[in-house]
């Protein structure tokens, strides 16, 4: 399913930009470059008890990377959303 961008209305694409000084990664809309939010940190997701072994292996491969593709960022957002939801259920 195609998602349209909240900012420009065209087909939404996820883009990752990395700040070289802080090495923090941010998500931007690839279609119109609108800033969205900081990229989920694989290190933080790895600390969650709610990830599967597959997700854990996937995240471990990302920890040392300087840059993620939009596809990887989308997976990170999915894992983050799952982790947060399970956290709420448990609380
Ligand atoms: Zn856009």
Pairing type for strands 25-29 and 14-18 reads: antiparallel
| Strand 35-38 with 25-29, pairing | antiparallel
Give the distance (Å) from ligand 1 centre to CA of residue 23. 24
Which residues lie across from 14 on neighbouring strands?
Answer: 29
Grouping H, G, I as helix, E, B as strand and the rest as coil, residue 71 is: helix
Quick: pLDDT tens for 2-61: 789 999 999 999 999 988 888 789 999 999 999 999 999 999 999 999 999 999 999 999
| Distance of CA 37 from the midpoint of ligand 1 (Å) | 14
**61: CA distance to ligand 1 center in Å?**
29
Domain assignments of the chain as residue spans, ordered by start: 14-90
User: How many angstroms does the Cα of residue 42 sit away from the middle of ligand 1?
Assistant: 25
User: Ligand 1 centre and the CA of 83: distance in Å?
Assistant: 27
* Mean predicted confidence (pLDDT) in 61-80: 93
């Amino acid at each position: 399913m195609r998602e349209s961008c909240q900012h420009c209305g065209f087909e939404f694409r996820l883009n990752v930009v990395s700040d070289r000084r802080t090495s923090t990664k941010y998500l931007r809309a690839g279609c119109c470059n609108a800033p969205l939010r900081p990229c989920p940190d694989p290190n933080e997701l790895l600390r969650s008890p709610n990830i599967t072994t597959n997700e854990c292996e996937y995240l471990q491969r990302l920890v040392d990377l300087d840059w993620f593709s939009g596809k990887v960022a989308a997976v990170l957002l999915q894992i983050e959303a799952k982790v947060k939801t399970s956290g709420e259920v448990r609380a």
